[in-house]
Amino acid sequence: MKFTRQRYQSGSLSREMRKAGPAVWIFRWRENATEARVYRKVVVGTIEQFPTKTAAKRAVETLRSTINAVNPAVPVTLRQLVKHYEENELPGKACLPLANATKAKIRNTMHVIFAHAGRNEWIATNPMTLVRQSAKREKLPDVLELDELKKLLAELENPARALVFLTAATGLRVSEALGLKWSDVDFAAREIRLSRAVVHQHVGDMKTEASQKPVPMEGALLDALQDWSRQAPYRQMGDWVFASPDMDGKQPYWPETPLKCYVLPAAKRVGITKALGWHSFRRTFATLLKGGGEDVKTVQELMRHASSRLTLDVYAQALTSAKRAAHLKLVGLIHPAAETAIGPSWSHAKAAVAVSS
C-alpha cells in the first residue's frame, strides 16, 4: 500500500467556453485515493448564474468542505513510511544540492536519534560520531546597498512597496510580515505586535519566543503603512495587512507572488542584478544597522534573535530608547526615496529625523 497523507484540497476554479450556450465555471480538484491520484472536475454553473468569479467561489465553498470531509488520512506503519520515502520522495531530491548549514542540521539530528538508541542499548556506538560536516557558507548571500534599496522603493507601488519597506526597515521575516493583521499594527503606540507567522498559507506560531517581541514603527515607515491602510481593499481590524484580492482577502499573499510579479521585475528595471529573495531585506536591515555604527546588542534585539550568539556574542542589554533611535535613523536613511513615491504626507517624518539627528 502506498503512503498517502491527508491534504486540504483548495481546488481551482476556471471559466471555460462551450460550443453552445454561455460559458461555465469549472471546479477541479485532486482526490487522494489509496492507490493513485484521481483528478475530478464538476460544472459549478454558467456565467449567467454566477456573473463574477467571486460569486462562483462562494458557490463552491460547500463543495470544497464536502471534498475534504471524505478524504481521510490512511494509517501507515513506520516501515511503510520509510518505504514510501525511499521509492517516491528521496529519488527526486537526492540530486538536489543542499546548503552546508542544512547538511549540518541533518547530521546533528541523526546524531541525537542514534544517541537516544545508544542510551536504550539498541546500538553499541553512535555512527554519526564519525561524520564530519561543516556549516560554513560556501557563498555569502547578497544584500542591497542603500542606494539600491532607495531605487527599488522608488520603482515599486503598493502593496509590494509597503511590504518591501516593512521588511527592509524592521527586519521582519516574510512569514511574519504576511502574518500581520491590521489589529497588530498600533499606529498610536508606533509599534507592531507579532503573534503569528504564515508559511504556505498555514497560520502558525512564531519561530522563537524572542520573535514575538514588538518592533518599533517610526518616521517614514509609520506614514507608509498608514498610507497603505488607506489604500488597502481590506482594512478592517481583523483583515490581513497584505490580503490577497484573488482570495477575497481571506488569505494573505503567497510570498512568491509579489516577489516574482513586482519586486524582481522592478529590481531589474533599476539595474539590480543581485539574487534577491525576501530574506535579502532582512539581511540588508542588519547590514545597514551594523554599518551605521549601532551596537551589536541593539541589532540583535531589533533582529529578535533568540540569542546574542547570532549577533557576535554581545551580552549587554539595549535600552528601548536606543532601539527606537536606531530604527528611526534607518528609516530616515531610506526616507528620501520614499518621499518621491508617496508625496507630502512624509514631510513631518523628515522633520522628525532632522530633529533626532
Higher-pLDDT residue of 227 and 36 is 227
Give tens-digit pLDDT for 191-209: 999 989 998 888 887 766 6
Phi, psi for 271 (deg, rounded to 5): 85, 20
> Model confidence at 346, in pLDDT bands (50, 70, 90)?
very low
Higher-pLDDT residue of 73 and 201 is 201
pLDDT at 357 (0 to 100): 42
Higher-pLDDT residue of 342 and 178 is 178
**The pLDDT of residue 189 is above 80:** yes
Query: DSSP of 63-82, one letter per residue?
Result: HHHHHHHT-PPPP--HHHHH
* Three-class secondary structure of residue 50 per DSSP: coil
Give CA torsion, residues 180, 182, 186, 191, to 10 deg.
Answer: 20
pLDDT at 32 (0 to 100): 61
Give tens-digit pLDDT for 266-312: 999 999 999 999 999 998 888 888 777 777 777 777 887 766 565 55
261 and 244 Cβ atoms separated by less than 8 Å = no
pLDDT at 318 (0 to 100): 46
**The pLDDT of residue 345 is above 80:** no
pLDDT at 86 (0 to 100): 78
**The pLDDT of residue 177 is above 80:** yes
CA atoms within 13 A on the CB side of 320: 7
Phi, psi for 296 (deg, rounded to 5): -65, -35
**The pLDDT of residue 28 is above 80:** yes
Where is average pLDDT lowest: 24-33, 288-297, 344-353? 344-353
Strands 191-192 and 215-216: antiparallel
pLDDT at 256 (0 to 100): 94
Strand segments, DSSP code E, in the chain are 12-16, 24-32, 37-46, 185-186, 191-192, 197-199, 202-204, 215-216
Is this prediction's pTM over 0.95? no
pLDDT at 335 (0 to 100): 74
128 and 118 Cβ atoms separated by less than 8 Å = no
pLDDT at 240 (0 to 100): 96
Residues forming beta bridges with residue 191, ordered by sequence position: 186, 216
Q: What is the average pLDDT across 117-140? A: 88
Which of 222, 256, 262, 225 has the alpha carbon at shortest distance from 241?
225
pLDDT at 72 (0 to 100): 53
> Model confidence at 327, in pLDDT bands (50, 70, 90)?
confident
288 and 280 Cβ atoms separated by less than 8 Å = no
Strands 191-192 and 37-46: unpaired
CA distance 79 to 97: 27
Identity at 109, one-letter amino acid code: T
The C-alpha cell at 132 is 564530519
* Three-class secondary structure of residue 267 per DSSP: helix
Taking CA 303 as the corner, what is the angle to CA 350 and CA 99, rounded to the nearest 5 degrees?
Answer: 130
Domain limits, CATH 1.10.443.10, in the chain? 146-356
The C-alpha cell at 328 is 528611526
50 and 59 Cβ atoms separated by less than 8 Å = yes
Average pLDDT, the chain: 81
Give tens-digit pLDDT for 1-15: 444 455 667 788 898
Which of 16, 13, 22, 21 has the alpha carbon at shortest distance from 53?
13
The CATH class that applies to domain 146-356 reads mainly alpha
* Three-class secondary structure of residue 343 per DSSP: coil
Give tens-digit pLDDT for 222-246: 999 999 999 999 999 999 999 999 8
CA distance 90 to 95: 9
CA distance 163 to 167: 6
